[in-house]
Chains A and B, each alone.
Chain A
Amino acid sequence: MLSIQNLTKIYDGKVLALDNVSFEVNKGEFLAIIGLSGSGKSTLLRCINRLIEPTSGQIIWNNLSITTSSQEEMRFIRRKIGMVFQHFNLVSRSKVITNVLSGRLGYINPTLSLINRFPQSDVELAIKQLERVGIADQAYKRADELSGGQQQRVGVARAMMQDPEMILADEPVASLDPVLAHSIMQYLEKLNKEEGVTILCSLHFLDLVHEYADRAIALNQGKLMFDGVPTEIDDKKFKNIYGQEAKRVG
């Protein structure tokens, strides 16, 4: 479904963020991306929907080449790829429902969307998505009145409004406490198991990786260090990924 081939990203001609990374993702997989901060996880996820332009290499998605698509084609590809961010990136002054509805904007004719109205069917769909993440009662509150965990649920609901085939989650639980982290991960798991949405999720805690991911890849200084089942990560591989001084936590 998704094939990354020899992907390299060099920032400003100096900083090597991704170094010849290749891997495949199958449809319906839950793939965890692990590695230290700065190892290239975010860069990798952002290259996949081209929020960042890769320096070289290829990304093929459903037989479409993402790396060579035009801006216009990219728009159609992006609306089938949801994204969830570490800092949620909601419009904090807008209502929750407006934030969720904005997930639908990619489907609305740009000129028609000038008037700020969504079809009733979209509003109903937005409420349904909020029900799924258990915060339908908060729909008409301002986004910044919600707690961090609730805001991330809005982020997930917004991504679901896109009716995505794949979700890129960039450290979705890194700014949440462990209890909330599990609840967000469970929503992603549900989408993965029940709707067959492919999920690429960067994570810091290995216990989350073990619990939710079918497969894991690991990056260290932009290089792919591991690709396999999370349980295969033994002490030696762990030190390859996180460095010789690293200790396991959680």
Chain B
Amino acid sequence: MDRLANLPWWAILIMLASILFIYSFITDEIYNEVFNKIVVGIRLTITVTSIAYLFAITIGLLTGLGQLSSNIFVRNLALLYVQVIRGVPIIVQIFYTAFVIVPAVITLINLAGDQLAIMGWLKTENIFTKLSVREVNFITRGIIALAISYGAFSAEIFRAGIQSISSGQIEAAQALGLTRFQSLRFIILPQAIKRVLPPLGNDFIAMLKESSLVSVLGVNEITHLGKKYAAASFRFPETYNTLAFLYLSMTLILSMGVKAMERKLKTGSE
């Protein structure tokens, strides 16, 4: 009886559903069509997520360190960024980045080009003045938006990881005559990174799901493809079943990866 109660029934259910889905994709004509229409967007979903993620953890590490900086300006800038991002819904951030920040940055670059031309450093028509908002496509804008958004979340992870290193470690590093940079590089970060890897992995999974939001910019990732297909064919259940199945299979595989990483980090040495 106990053995039955302890079986991971939820996983078995998902497995059975997956088998049923895969069977339908092969045999059912409608499911087969839906699947083929949507699956081409997976590549874009993964690309958007991966690139945005790399930028996000870079921003996150710098911001996390900034939050702990003794420099008042740096610290407050980092705190401001994190607080603003945490207080605004991600979908609003996506619109804001795509239609406010990116155009504003392009305008600034144009102005800089004009200024350089006036100063005689460049020709009147130069690469800076020629740059137009339309040249920054919506995939790029979506990536920028996700990176800015998740940068703040991973900043909190890095900050917590660094703060979790005991003060004795920092004391010992100082007593050995290490510079601030050396203690960060040799004592604090190597230990902090190991603690933040699992939560950062979970961030990647969250980001994969959140990448569906860039569909509002018309980026042809799987959610947008699904939405378009359903609207044209009225096959709502088939489309959204397939869409949910695709996300679920990606996130389940990834979270198994994160679990394996956690186990390895508990025992491995460097």
* Chain A residues within 8 Å of B, Cβ to Cβ: 46, 49, 51, 75-79, 81-83, 85, 87, 89-91, 93-95, 98, 102-103, 105-106, 110, 113-114, 116, 142, 158, 162, 168
**Interchain CB contact under 8 A, B174 and A51:** yes
Known: A113-B182, A113-B185. Is A91-B176 also a contact (CB below 8 A)? no
The answer to whether A110 touches B172, judged by C-beta atoms less than 8 angstroms apart, is: no
Instruction: Give per-residue flags for B181-210: 1 if the beta carbon is below 8 A from chain A beta carbons, else 0.
Output: 110011100110010000000000000000
Give B184 Cβ to nearest chain A Cβ, in Å: 11
Number of interface residues of B (CB under 8 A): 22
Docked complex Cα distance between A87 and B177 (Å)? 19
Q: Which residues of A contact B172 (CB under 8 A)?
A: 83, 85, 89-90
Chain B nearest CB from A97 CB (Å) reads 11
- Residue B87, interface by CB 8 Å: no
Chain A residues with Cβ under 8 A from B176's Cβ?
Answer: 78-79, 83, 102-103, 105-106, 158, 162
B269 touches A93 (CB 8 A): yes
User: Out of B168, B178, B186, B190, which one reaches A89, CB within 8 Å?
Assistant: B168
Asked whether, in the complex, the Cβ of A78 is within 8 Å of the Cβ of B186, the reply is: no
- The A-B contact count (CB < 8 A) is 73
Residues in chain B within 8 A of chain A (CB atoms): 166, 168-169, 171-179, 181-182, 185-187, 190-191, 194, 269-270
CA distance A76 to B187 in the complex (A): 19
User: What are 25 A-B interface contacts by the 8 Å CB criterion?
Assistant: A49-B174, A51-B175, A76-B177, A78-B175, A79-B177, A82-B175, A83-B175, A85-B168, A89-B166, A89-B168, A89-B169, A90-B172, A91-B169, A91-B190, A94-B190, A94-B269, A94-B270, A95-B269, A102-B176, A102-B187, A106-B177, A113-B185, A113-B186, A116-B186, A158-B176
Complex Cα spacing A105 to B174, Å? 11
Query: What are the residues of chain B within 8 A of A158 when measuring CB–CB?
Result: 176
Residues of B contacting A79 in the complex (Cβ-Cβ under 8 angstroms): 176-177
Q: Complex: how many Å from CA A191 to CA B166?
A: 29
